[in-house]
Homo-oligomer: A and B are copies of this chain.
C-alpha cells in the first residue's frame, strides 16, 4: 500500500495545533485516528517524526524537514486539483489556432496578449500558414480555430466574419509598371509577378488572384514579398495595412491595371462543431472580434482610407 498524502495534512494540523487532541478536534476526527495516521506515516517513511519522551510530543529535526516537504507536496496536489477544476469549468487544456499570414498580425497579437492576461489554464498553440495551407493544417492537426482569408466549406464549419480587408496591386516607384496607364492583362503578364507560396502540400494550381504570366516569383511570406517589391523585383498584391507608409511616401505605387487594382476580402474565424470551442476558444473569439474592430478604427482614423 502506498503512502497516504492525507497524512501530511494531519501532520501539518498536528504541528500547528501542538497536540494530538486539538488536532483531532480541528480535523473532526477521534484522537486515536490522528495517532494512527502519524504512526502509519512514520512507518511508511521509516523515520521518527515525533519525540514522545516528554509530556507533549515534539517534532524531531527530521520531522521538521518532512513537514516542510509534505506541505510542498500538498501544494503541488492542490495545484493539480485547481487545474482540474478549471477544466471542469469548461476550460480546454489546449487551444490550437491556425492563422493566415495574409492577415494583420497586430490585432491577433493584441488578442493573444489579452488572453494571457486572463490567466487561463489553456495552453495556446499558434501556427501561421499561407493560402490553402491554413485549411490543410486546420484539418490535419484537428485544430480548434482557423483565421482565414477564405476557405472551402467543410464538415459542419461555423464561420464568423471579421472586418473586411483590402489588398492593392502595387510595384516600386521605379518599376516600369508604375510609369504606365491603362495597363492590359497581356502587358502585366510580361512582368515578374511576386506571390506568396501556398504552404499546403497538395497546392492548388494557382491562387485565384494570380495573373497567369510566365514570370512568377514565389516568396515565403509578406515580409519577403514587401522587400522584393521595394527592390523593384516585380509587382504584386499587398494588403493595404502593410504598406500604408510606403504608399504615402511614394516608395510603392498602385498599378493602373484595367481589371482593377484593389480587391477586398472578409477574413473568417472558423471552428467546427466536431470540436466545439471551450471557454478559451470562446474568449479568443470575443477578443479577436474586438481587436479587429479596434484595429480597423485606428486604421481609418489614421489614414482616412478605410479597410472596407
Contacts and interface: CB of A to CB of B under 8 A. Distances in A.
Looking at A4, A47, A70, A72, which has the most chain B CB atoms within 10 Å of its CB?
A47
Contact of A92 (B3, B5, B61, B84): B61
Interface string A71-112: 011001101110111011000111000000000000000000
- Copies of this chain present: 2
A94 B5 contact: no
A10 to B, nearest CB: 10
A180 interface: no
A32 B187 CA distance: 77
A35 to B, nearest CB: 19
B88 A80 contact: no
B61 A94 contact: yes
A13 B80 CA distance: 19
Contacts of A84: 45-47, 62, 66
A166 interface: no
B62 A3 contact: no
A83 B69 contact: yes
A19 to B, nearest CB: 22
Contacts of A47: 84, 87-88
A2 interface: yes
A9 B85 CA distance: 20
Contact size range, A: 20 to 34
A87 B65 CA distance: 10
Contact of A73 (B6, B9, B77): B77
A244 B128 CA distance: 70
Q: Which secondary structure characterizes the binding site on chain A?
A: helix
Contacts of A61: 92-94
Contact of A87 (B62, B70, B81, B94): B62
29 contacts: A2-B5, A2-B9, A3-B5, A3-B77, A4-B4, A4-B5, A5-B5, A44-B81, A45-B80, A45-B81, A45-B84, A45-B88, A46-B84, A46-B87, A46-B88, A47-B84, A47-B87, A61-B92, A61-B93, A64-B93, A65-B83, A65-B87, A66-B84, A69-B79, A69-B80, A69-B83, A70-B80, A73-B80, A76-B76
A9 B5 CA distance: 13
A32 to B, nearest CB: 18
Contacts of A65: 83, 87, 93
A66 B121 CA distance: 12
Nearest to A121: B65
Nearest to A60: B93
Minimum-distance CB pairs A-B, first 5: A45-B84, A46-B88, A2-B6, A61-B93, A65-B93
Nearest to A42: B84
Contacts of A1: 6
A78 to B, nearest CB: 10
Given A2-B5, A2-B6, A69-B83, 7 more contacts: A45-B80, A62-B84, A62-B93, A66-B83, A69-B80, A72-B76, A73-B77
